[in-house]
Structure 1
Amino acid sequence: MCVWISVAVLPLCIFLLVSYAVLPVKWTHRHYLSICFTLGICCMEIAFIIPLGAKPNQCHNAITPNDMYSDLSCAFSGSLLLFGGWMVIMWSFIRTVAFHLQVCWEVVLGPKFMWGAFLCGFGIPGAMITIMLIFTGVSFRFGEICHINVQNGVQDYWAPIMSFAVAALVLQVTTMAYCIHVYVRSLFDNSNNNSSTNNSSGLPSYNASVRTVTARQAYRRIRRVLQLQWRGVALVLIIIGNVFFFAIVFINLDNAVEPNATNMAIAEPWLYCLVILEGDKKACQSKASAIGPSKSTLLAVVILLSLVGIWNFVLYARPSMFAGWLDLFRRSFTRQNEFISTDARKRYEDSKGFEMLTGPGTKTPETFMRSPTPEMASRSPMASPSPTFDRTVQFGRGSEARYVRPSLSFSGPRPPSSSQGGRDWDPQSTFAAAGYRQ
């Protein structure tokens, strides 16, 4: 079931990534925190889809499951699942740190924070997955999905990932408590302001007005940040809750199958049943229910792990994304059906007279070197209707054009007009200085 959920969720994550890459930022409001978080979810969903195509054999023999050394699909699915889980937790922690710095400390995040986030968001998961594969490994723990082994699993995977989850939860709770504190203080300052305006003088005191302005400014700033980042805050809280649930279930599972005296005493009825019935697992299934978590609990864990991508799509698939894709398709369709207007077509046809072409009625360069005669001017297809012209301009071989000086041309010196002749400039009439001063 979780495999088919991942098959349905992966296209949604790919849609988000393609929208971030293709559409302008005004439609998607993309950010590197959202992009990297979506990449981590894609790794997890691909890990669930790999067994659908590989169809691996879970059992190496009658009592030993396959692991990453005996089955290649197990190595890929287990590695992608653990790496995607680490990426989701790390980028949730980084988003929480960014939100805390912006709200509580008024820090403007710049390139330094971005490169530090990339280093931690990809470097720590890469280093931890290397340590886990070397010292612990993955195997078919339940179903067709490989997971980390019991030996050293808590030290290599669950303890570090839980530490980042707890740190993210503490920062998130601290930030939300600060937001509530600022909101309550703004309400309190508003009440003080109302009481101060009702005094005998009718004017508020200076200290009360300063505190009121400060509280209102802080509240407006925090409200703007919350309006921009409420999706990230909600998604981080969902991820942290899922991680705590996953960790509790898997740690209990590891403790239940650990070979010790307590677990052996719990498993004795099931072992005796297997011995008596010569290994009939179905007949002894009722006695095995007391060992470890129930099947429904494990199935709920796997389903919740697959549904992380749906939460990401619901929170980050803005309606503006669909409007952006509609605008992109509309502009692409309009470009394919562009047409030239009538005025533009006329101008294009008029410009053909300046093309460098030769024909039966064109003149040679030697002809243009001689002064034009009236007969030549009358026979020229581009002769100007005006009898006045200054010179002949050659645009190309076999084409000519007459340059007609416009009547309002100011390109040459002109004598002063009669209305301006003899007029002296009076500096006093314009309130200007009579002479030049150093």
Structure 2
Amino acid sequence: MSNDTGGCPAPFLSNALFTDGGFIEGRVCQALSPELTCCLPCPMTEWAYPDSFEAMNSAANWVAVASTVFCLFLLVSWAALPVDKTHRHYLSISLTTAVLFMNLGFVIPLAGNPDQCYDAITPNSMSTNSMCAASGFFLIMGGWAGVMWVFLRSLSLHLQICWQLVVGRNFMWFSQALGWGIPAIGVVLAFVLSGVSFRFGQTCHINHKNSLADLWIPLLIFAGLTIIIQLGTFGYCIKVYLASLADNSASTEGSGMPSYTNSIRTMTPKQAYRRVRRVIALQWRGIAIVLIIIADVIFFSIVFVFQDNTIERVKNDMQIAFPWILCLASSGGDKSACLDEASPLVVNQATVGAVLFLLGMNGFWLALLLGRWSMVTGWRDLFTSVPNRNKREFVSVDARLDDFKNETRSYEMLSRDSGKAMDDSVTPSVVTPISPTHARSPLGSPMQNDYAYPSKEGRRTPDYFGNTARYHAPARSFSSPRPPQTVTWDARETYARAQSPHAEHDRYVNPLGMNRI
């Protein structure tokens, strides 16, 4: 017996040596007598796991840091780049934000390095450590939001494929209310009814009290619904595919659409299969990310609930942990000699490491499946186009004409003699309005509001088909049985020179045939 331990065998410490501060329910203690209660030093993971556990925990947190960087890259790209570069969608944006929150639950303890213990036997909680409250909030909020948004993404895909419904603005507002409202309610219930504390590394997790009712069971219910919906969608796709194999209708070979586009029920099996295949080709990335995140959340929930229940059994029944306690007491606190006795009491280190690394890698999967190479090229174009825009602001009109001349869709003026394009010394022709004071018809009358096409010789040909031209029914049209009408001619409507009563010998000139060869 040692006096500094309060009568408890080393490394255990007497409960009477400490105050009631910190998270009292987090102490791992056992009453040896009515006057003596011995407790395991805090934190418990240092005694139940080898020294490599802390290094593994830090490595998982650094993976979460890299995952956070990928999430930030996606969010900033969706906000700054045009939609044709990113193909952004509110389901992808919300899911990435949820994963970012989950990663912050591991990044904040890594940045702040908080003290896990209030004293030698008592862990800190959200009421005694602000970083504990922050990390627990982001972890629970991110977990809830991640489950909800993969559920909504799976529901959206199911409605499109199985029920032929086009999800629109109403579904978007419904998703926003459900995807963020339920996680907010879940976080409030978890903090009020259970609370968070340091129980599993440097990240605060929910306490055992009421945790099944206010977090784990509701979380697993939505995860189970997501799996059921996803399996139902897969089953429908398989059914449509098998039906298309048995469809020998020749009418479906030429077109992938139904006879009446307003009635989806008129689809043949092959047409339905083509439609489903097109939707899956567009949504396979979302399907993959739904399966990955749901698997991670379910894995983490099962592992943590198992670990939590085991610790509670140890605290309530000394006989379960008696071989391990006896080994620690007989070895004088040498945990390395007692790791074999501790292994039945905790989840093995490989499983814990797999959970932490998988949770930290969700950002990588998002960047791989939801990110596109066009985002990288979009950022390159965004930074390289700024100096080019500044230079083009001072380009002269002559340079713009050169650009117009080199444009493939611009008109080329052809030489009348050779039939080839004019040389570079000639100014490119541009259709421009001419002034009525300078533009006159070959017969001498001015042209009003017309456009002229300058030629190589400088002669201007009036446009008789401009906006001012009017259509007149032919005077000698015999398409219907009617007598010929008297022909009237107005010189003002043809831009011809008015015929003088003393010039009867003048010959009539057709202005539309003046350039006829």
TM-score, normalization by structure 1: 0.74
Distance between the aligned counterparts of 1:118 and 1:184, measured in 2? 36
Aligned to 1:58: 116
Q: Deviations over 1:38-61 (max 9, x none)?
A: 001111112211112211011112
3-state SS in 1 of match to 2:164: coil
- The whole-number CA distance in structure 1 between the counterparts of 2:368 and 2:293 is 14
The counterpart of 2:209, out of the listed 136, 151, 155, is 151
Deviation at 1:331, TM superposition (A): 2.0
Aligned-partner SS, 1:141: strand
On the 8 A contact 1:37/1:87 being kept in 2, the answer is: yes
Asked if 1:243 corresponds to 2:243, the answer is: no
Deviations 1:134-182 (A, max 9, x none): 1111111121111111222122111111000100000000001100110
Residue 122 (structure 1) aligns with: 180
2:381 — aligned with what? Answer: 327
Q: What is the aligned partner in structure 1 of residue 340 from structure 2?
A: 286
Task: Show the counterpart of 1:306.
Answer: 360
Match of 1:5 in 2: 63
What is the identity, as a one-letter code, of the residue corresponding to 2:302? I
Name the counterpart of 1:99: 157
For 2:283, the equivalent position in structure 1 comes to: 229
| Runs of 5+ consecutive residues of structure 2 not aligned to the other structure | 1-58, 252-263, 402-434, 441-445, 450-471, 487-517
Pick the aligned partner of 1:429 from 446, 471, 476: 476
Residues 404 and 15 (structure 1), Cα distance of their counterparts in 2 relative to 1, 3 Å cut: same
Q: How far apart are the structure 1 equivalents of 2:123 and 2:375?
A: 45
The aligned counterpart of 1:340 is: 395
Q: Secondary structure at the match of 2:319?
A: helix
Which 10-residue stretch deviates more, 43-52 or 118-127? Answer: 43-52
Pick one of 438, 445, 450 that aligns with 1:406: 438
CA distance in 1, matches of 2:195, 2:265: 59
- Which runs of structure 2 are paired with 1:39-438 in the superposition (5 Å)? 39-190=97-248, 214-259=268-313, 263-277=317-331, 279-338=333-392, 339-341=394-396, 343=398, 405-408=437-440, 409-411=446-448, 428-431=475-478
Q: Is the 8 A contact 1:40 1:83 kept in 2?
A: yes
| SS of the residue 1:189 aligns to | coil
Alignment partners' CA distance in 2, 1:134 and 1:211? 51
Match of 1:204 in 2: none
Query: Is the contact made by 2:323 and 2:341 (CA closer than 8 Å) also made in structure 1?
Result: yes
Q: Structure 1 residues 262 and 332, CA, compared in 2 at 3 Å: closer, same or farther?
A: same
CA distance in 1, matches of 2:61, 2:364: 14
In structure 2, C-alpha distance between the alignment counterparts of 1:282 and 1:67, rounded to whole Å: 28
**1:50-90, CA deviations, whole angstroms, 9 ceiling, x for partnerless residues?**
11221101111222211111111010011101100111100
Cα drift, residue 327 of structure 1 = 2.5
- Whether contact under 8 Å (1:3, 1:52) holds in the other structure is yes
Once the two structures are aligned, what percentage of the paired residues are identical?
45
Q: In the superposition, relative to structure 1, how do residues 263 and 107 fare at CA in structure 2: closer, same or farther (>3 Å)?
A: farther
Match of 1:399 in 2: none
C-alpha distance in 1 between matches for 2:274 and 2:71: 33
Deviations 1:248-280 (A, max 9, x none): 211211111114698532201122234445555
CA distance in 1, matches of 2:280, 2:211: 38
| Contact 2:126–2:196 (CA under 8 A) maintained in structure 1 | yes
CA distance in 1 between counterparts of 2:474 and 2:165 reads 61
- TM value normalised by structure 2: 0.63
8 Å CA contact 1:257–1:263 kept in 2: the answer is no
* In structure 2, C-alpha distance between the alignment counterparts of 1:19 and 1:211, rounded to whole Å: 40
The match for 1:368 is none
- Cα deviations by residue, 1:322-364 (Å, 9 ceiling, x for unpaired): 2222222332231133241362699xxxxxxxxxxxxxxxxxx
CA RMSD of aligned residues (A): 2.8
**Contact 2:143 2:297 (8 Å CA) reproduced:** no
What is the rounded CA distance, in whole Å, between the counterparts of 1:312 and 1:80 in structure 2?
Answer: 18
Query: Which secondary structure state, in structure 1, belongs to the residue aligned with residue 363 of structure 2?
Result: helix
Paired residue secondary structure (2:268): helix
Counting only pairs closer than 5 Å after superposition, residues 24-39 of structure 1 correspond to structure 2 as 24-39=82-97
CA-CA distance at 1:212 after TM superposition: 10
Does structure 2 retain, via aligned residues, the 8 Å contact 1:103–1:225?
yes
Q: Is the 8 A contact 1:96 1:171 kept in 2?
A: yes
The whole-number CA distance in structure 2 between the counterparts of 1:125 and 1:261 is 31
Separation in 2, partners of 1:42, 1:148: 19
- Contact between 1:44 and 1:80, CA under 8 Å: does it hold in 2? yes
Does the CA contact (< 8 Å) of 1:189 and 1:212 recur in 2? no
CA distance in structure 1 between the partners assigned to 2:78 and 2:99 by the alignment: 15
Distance, in Å, in 2 between the alignment partners of 1:303 and 1:316 is 20
Moved more, 120-129 or 299-308: 299-308
More helix by share: 1
Do the aligned partners of residues 214 and 271 (structure 1) sit closer, same or farther apart at CA in structure 2, a change above 3 Å counting?
Answer: same
CA distance in 1, matches of 2:203, 2:274: 48
Q: Aligned equivalents of 1:229 and 1:426: distance in 2? A: 59
What's the secondary structure of 2:476's corresponding residue? helix
Aligned residues between the structures: 351
